[in-house]
Amino acid sequence: MYQLASRTSEAGSIVEVDGIRIGEGFTVIAGPCAVEDELQIEAAAKGVAAAGGALLRGGAYKPRTSPYSFQGLGAPAVELIAQAGRRHGLPPVVEALSIEQLPLLAEHVGMIQIGARNMQNFALIQAAARTGKPLLLKRGPAATLDELLYAAEYALLEGNRSVVLCERGVRGFDSHTRNLFDLAGALRLKELTHLPVIVDPSHATGRRSLVVPLTLAAAAAGLDGAIIEVHPEPARARCDAAQAIDLPEFSDLMARLAVFAPSKVASAGCR
């Protein structure tokens, strides 16, 4: 059984990313699917910061199902998001696809994401953990909760205790949503582990209209946060346009989330 990942006491862990404490209150990570250019990431960062987001997401290396899809800008995107994040006080969260990308990411970003496709790419997880950076580990679409916790254990065993887990939908059978958002699984995770657990309603559903209510649901249920795709102009997004919300929607969401903040501790889903 996993050991370092197991919950052994009432108190959950706090993962700190450049001063942002994940595991305390409801933390919102927001930004575009991919960094597309300087203006786009600057507009996104500005809007996210103004609305009260805590961290800035944005893909530099995109793991695309098809080799013919936009693969991200690569290294230049890492620097663009780092600059935008710095200007607006938002630590960047960027996904790593291979070990060779880790040094650049470790230098520039606040948190390194291991995506769902690589949840059992243990070599990558171990190398990412060894950078010492906080990690955001996403659940794979066919992964059980135990498998996710074992994957986290690979990172924890490297001596890096800053691991945040993310539910982003498992493979389902209904084409109305891209994946099947497993909110109950995320809550159950909180019972099994002390690590913070957040959700990604954007990738879980692939549907803009569901992002706001599901984020409110996650907050009401007592989870630790959400990572949300926000784009200054969703219609022009180079990837995942159908799931990105725009800045006014994001701002409205943040205002509505404020309701849940005070009752956060009391409404913890795990007991």
Q: Interface residues with a copy of itself (CB under 8 A)? A: 2, 63, 65-68, 97-100, 117-118, 120-124, 140-142, 144-147, 150, 153-154, 157, 170-177, 180-185, 187-188, 191-192, 201, 204-205, 207, 209-210, 212-214, 216-222, 256, 259-260, 263, 267, 269-271
CB of residue 261 to a copy of itself, shortest distance in Å: 12
CB of residue 153 to a copy of itself, shortest distance in Å: 5
Q: Please check whether residue 227 is in contact with residue 166, taking contact to mean a CB–CB distance below 8 angstroms.
A: yes
Of 45 and 187, which has the nearer Cβ to a copy of itself?
187
CB of residue 45 to a copy of itself, shortest distance in Å: 27
Of 52 and 172, which has the nearer Cβ to a copy of itself?
172
Angle at Cα 119 formed by Cα 184 and Cα 145, nearest 5°?
A: 30
CB of residue 214 to a copy of itself, shortest distance in Å: 6
Q: Please check whether residue 70 is in contact with residue 34, taking contact to mean a CB–CB distance below 8 angstroms.
A: yes
Q: How many CB atoms lie within 10 A of CB 39?
A: 11
| Six token digits for residue 251 | 């701002």
- Residue 57 carries which DSSP code? E
As a whole number of angstroms, the distance between CA 46 and CA 198 comes to: 23
Of 75 and 192, which has the nearer Cβ to a copy of itself?
192
Q: Please check whether residue 129 is in contact with residue 160, taking contact to mean a CB–CB distance below 8 angstroms.
A: yes
CB of residue 256 to a copy of itself, shortest distance in Å: 7
- What kind and span of H or E run contains 107? helix 102-108
Of 33 and 90, which has the nearer Cβ to a copy of itself?
33
Of 83 and 126, which has the nearer Cβ to a copy of itself?
126
Beta bridge partners of 230: 245
CB of residue 20 to a copy of itself, shortest distance in Å: 23
Of 19 and 68, which has the nearer Cβ to a copy of itself?
68
Q: Please check whether residue 7 is in contact with residue 192, taking contact to mean a CB–CB distance below 8 angstroms.
A: yes
